Structure 1
């Protein structure tokens, strides 16, 4: 990721860690209170669900930005370079289209549900759908940056034909000898 955007993804990482911590503590204490004292924290289910949705979407942005999404490159790795580049462009175009579809759907749902309040916490239900807006916008930005870099000749390892694991396999082969 370019330097100007690194702070944004660091912020997302911090928010994911904070969200996981808050969600974990709320669920833990709710379970302890329910089974130990026959009571509970009424709003913890709603707030935990909201935090979970945001964690998933922010985590997917981070994974995309770091190239950590699971991929099967057995076919792409065998293609000649021009076809690998074509697959890269087509796949990024399809992902941008999916970002657009997620943006549209999230926008409609956010507007429809913004005035609806969750029954216990009173938080706007639209905030749940707003996670899709943030995710699709940030993912589209990451994809556009990847496309810009590819046009400048800097393809990610899978698409450029470089083996990410070449050093690891060399080390393993040397250890077997």
Structure 2
């Protein structure tokens, strides 16, 4: 059985710590689902960079497909799948932009190559050749050869403030444990219920 708490972040922190100790690659990897202008869903993997009572934070190019989706329709879903633990955590809720200060601080912590890559990549747009990308990387690398690499204006973060968090744990004979937390807004208390597998 999943240990129920009054605060789902407490349970998430415990599961995330276990995943960080057991997952061979990227325990912070999460599937991000967004909705396009015609209502078609799109999903891809991103990395969790921070979480607290304010929400779950990830970073991207705002001009990318997911960036455009979230700016036009600021709601999303996240899914963590920790195969080694046979657990999942699903989250749904509204999305807001991180502050410029938060984005600057995270960008400054990235490897220099990743910083240059954020300038060079026209994320989600057609790429004529690998050489074209490598040329752009070289050009922006030369442009920012000395000193700190500034954060591109089109590169920043999003924060999902969950109104739903579901914890799923594998069970024998597919009789899985599911515990759901819901609230109408961040100002409201969480309600819980268990779900059939």
Instruction: Give the TM-score normalised by the residue count of structure 2.
Output: 0.26
Give the number of the structure whose alpha-carbon radius of gyration is greater. 1
Pick the structure with more helix per residue: 1
Instruction: Give the TM-score normalised by the residue count of structure 1.
Output: 0.28
Pick the structure with more strand per residue: 2
